[in-house]
A and B are shown apart, each in its own frame.
Chain A
């Protein structure tokens, strides 16, 4: 029932994206001493959202249930699936061919965590609104 509500969908997608990104960062971090390993990354949430909502049928146009309804411009999207993993560009390789920089990974990891926290906060506050609307505090 709740998955039909846009804000939950959005928060869900955001948290999932943060999880995938964190997994990629963890893999980079784990392989920071593996010779020849190339640092990987996925597109950030904004880009991923723009890409998936650009596909027809994915965008969140307001649903026209009657012929008389006006089709409003799209407001939010439902990014499905996990974004593709690619090698991070512009990374400088160590003598052993490894392109992981621990500092960069740290920053990316913290960013992913903050994105996840943000998504959780959105979910939680929407939950509070929902609860108060059904008469509970």
Chain B
């Protein structure tokens, strides 16, 4: 269901859990689907012994993709006009992520209203792993 401009106000929030105890297998799944086979995400031997990280870690784009579900569940299918993020901290196997969209502004016109959202995804320690924005078409 699409959002209605008349039901929204600045500061409204929508929160969803993206993943609980992120599994390495999901990183493999994302590598296969996206085509990004960087061993940093799936190859524990390379990542710990050569790259110098404590373990494999998630593709930034997996976090952006999971956060995208929170957004489309909120604004509706085929409604996004903009979506952009910065990856602010790495996401590791075992992480649990929660994501929040906050209404920043209601823009557009009376006939074609838009909502601007702040987007933030945090891990189980409250560390922001993704920070960004989105814009979506909403109903009057």
Binding partners A and B: no
